[in-house]
Every structure is written in structure tokens, then in C-alpha cells.
Amino acid sequence: MTQTAMAMEAYNAYWANSFLPAAHIMWMVLILMLAIVALWQARTFVSKF
Amino acid sequence: MDLKTLKKQESKRKISKGYMWALFCAIFWGIWYLPGTVVWVLNPFDEMYATIAEVSGDGMSLVVTAVLITAFNALTVMLALMLWNGVLGKYGELGRTLKEFHPCSKWFFLASIFGGPMAILGSFIAMGFIGGAFAAVAGLLYPVIGSILAYYWYGEKISKRAVIGIGIIVLGGISIYGGGLLTELSSGNVPWIGYLGGLMAAAGWGIEGAIAGKGLDIAEPDAGLTLRFLGENIIWWIIIVPILAILGFPMYSFAFQVFEPLTMLILVFAGLTFGFCYVTWYKSFPLIGVGRGQGIGNLYGFCAVIFIFLFFGDIPDWTIIVGGLLCITGSFIMFTEDSSALETLRGE
């Protein structure tokens, strides 16, 4: 199944009013950055405790 | 440096790490609302909602569609947790914990029953039959139940200062969702099943935390949480989804349509945020206790508002700003608690 035009319109509407540039991509970049920091902290935690 | 000072220093480091994990939990939980919200408008879920609503009504359609989304969320959480355990080199520990059913894994499977179908389904029932704000407020009350259970069940110490902190964070959460809550409750007939859903959410997550706290006495949080999600996947995919299909809901026809790049991408990010939120939540429990871990985790309400403001551009009302300030105050009260009070988490 592919996305319908209506579904894509509703999806894009969520990011349209964002205060950040390219918000539809930035949120994924932010999550990836947070995930990397969390994994790095978890590895540090494992080695220290 | 004498042994006592070293012990005190070690305990202080552990406590600060505990708060750090609980804060990570709140951030991941808050940002989960981005993929958790947008996935509803994508195929096949939007078409599933419309198809079921035509036959069974909006409330029932929301709950059934939510079950399928949650089941896929549980699957992608497993992927995220396999990545987490892989990076930390915990696959061996995972196998060991799984084999030790009686002392260890039974607690995590039990936690999956309360956290999965009870809390998440309850939250969706509250959302479907009353509204999103009511569901959020009901969910925010879970640390009250979690800390009371942990206190009476295995004597987890909870100081007056922590109680005040948790109370202020809960009040902050209520203020954040208060405006919407009043609108929803004053809109007319509120079905009792909606209140039951709210109670299921608060009790489910509270009980899950207390059970997890017990299981984490002997098991490791990363492995324990992965088993908890293994249990949740079994519940959704082997029990609930087939039962709904037998009852005549088109579960499988829409489930097979989910393999669309954008839908899959959103589900993967939902799984990543939800999985990391949960694993950091569990990691905080042995370090600062269930009550404090859940209290700080409750900052997700405030984090969700910030992320929704930044990425969706929804400007918050003044009640939300007041709520946010209360949340920060409550957290500050807990962060600044004397670490000697937390040297042992259990009572005498």
C-alpha cells in the first residue's frame, strides 16, 4: 500500500507550522542524536558500575 | 580518603545517574508523542480507523486501531532493545535471565500484563471514550500508585521531600492537561468505560513499576525490560490481535498493509523512543527507587508539550506554562534531596 494524497497532506500539515527548519526531518535527527547519547551513557555506566 | 567517604561518594554518583536515567526516560517519552501522533494519519491506520468506525462507531474504532498500532510499537520496541542490548554486550545476560523464570523473568512477564494491555489499552479506552487530555491526566497519576505499592510491598523508603516533589509534578501534569480536561468532562455524557480506562492506565503503570522494582532486585534492567517487551509482544500478537480478528475486526488485512516505507519509518522511530524511554525508566528504579523514578519520569508531560511546540508549532496555553513550572519545581525538590537519605532505598 502506498500513502494516499490525503494521508500525505495530513502528515505534512503536522510539520507545516513548526518553528524549526525542515522539521519533518529534524525530529528524526534529534531522536538519533538522543539515542546515541543515551547509548554512550549506558556504555559508560556499564563500565563504571 | 576513608571507606565511609568513598561509600558516600559512590552512592552520590549512583543517585545522580539514577536521576539522569529518569530524565532520559522523560525526554524519550515526550518525543515519542511526535511519531505516536503522526502515525495515526498514515495508511493503513487511517483507513482502518475509517472502516471500523463505519460499522462499530468512533470510540470502538479508536481502541481497535490503537491495539494494532500498539502491537506494532511493541515489535519495533523489541528491535530497539536488541540494538541497546547488542551495544552493551548483554545478549548473554538476556539468555540467562530468560532461563531463570522462577526468580527473575516471571516478574517481567507479570509487568508486561500490567504495563501492556492494562495500562496502554486503558489509556486508549480513556482517550477514545472521553478524550486525550483526560487520558494524559489519568496516566500522570501512576507514580502515586507505584510508590504506595512499593512502600507496602517491599518497604521502599519514600521521604517526605520525595512525596512533595512527586505531588507537585503530578499537580503540574494536571495543570498542563487541565484546560482540555474541563472541556472534555463538561461536554455532556461521559461513559463510565472511559473512567475505567483512566483507572486502568494509572493502576497498570503504577503496578508495573512496583513489580519491576521487585524483579530488578535480582535481575539486570536491560535484560529484564527486554523480557517485559517479549511478554507484551506475546500478549498482543498471540492473544489480543487474534481475538479481535475472531470477533470480526479486519486486523490481519490491515496489519499486512503496514509495510510501506513512511509508515515503517515512523514505527521504527516510535519503537526507538519508546524502547529507550522504557529501558532508562527501568534503569532508574534500582538507583533511586520506583517512586522517584516514576516521579521524574512524569516530566514526560512537560517534555511532550515542548517537543509538540517546537515541531508541530502548537502554542501552549498559560495553564501549560504554569504546569511546566510546577513540574520543574517538583523535580528540583527531588534532585536537591540529601543523598544520605537515599543510601539505602529499602526500609529497615
Question: Out of B13, B257, B312, whose CB is closest to A1?
Answer: B257
Neighboring chain B residues of A6 at a CB cutoff of 8 Å: 46
Q: Is the Cβ of B28 closer than 8 Å to some Cβ of chain A?
A: yes
Q: Please judge whether B41 and A43 are an interchain contact, meaning their C-beta atoms are less than 8 angstroms apart.
A: no
A41 part of contact set with chain B, CB < 8 Å: yes
Site from A1, A37, A39 to mutate, B interface, most B CB atoms within 10 angstroms: A1
C-alpha closest to that of B224 among B142, B284, B267 = B284
Give the C-alpha separation, B137 to B7, whole Å. Answer: 40
Give this prediction's pTM.
0.89
ipTM: 0.95
- Give the whole-angstrom CA distance, residue A27 versus residue A33: 10
Give me the residues paired with residue B156 across strands.
B346
Query: d(Cα B126, Cα B117) in Å, to the nearest integer?
Result: 13
- Residue B280 in contact with partner chain A when CB distance is under 8 A: yes
Per-residue confidence in pLDDT tens, chain B, 348 aa: 678 888 888 888 888 999 999 999 999 988 998 998 899 899 999 999 999 999 998 888 988 999 999 999 999 999 999 999 999 999 998 888 888 877 778 888 999 999 888 888 888 788 777 776 677 777 787 888 888 888 888 888 778 888 888 888 888 878 777 766 677 677 666 677 878 888 888 899 889 988 988 888 888 899 999 999 999 999 999 999 999 999 999 999 999 999 999 999 999 999 999 999 999 999 998 888 888 888 888 888 888 888 988 998 887 777 777 887 887 888 778 777 776 666 666 664
Cα B242 to Cα B10, B51, B64, B197, distances in angstroms: 50, 18, 12, 22
Calculate how close chain B gets to A7, using CA atoms only, in Å. 5
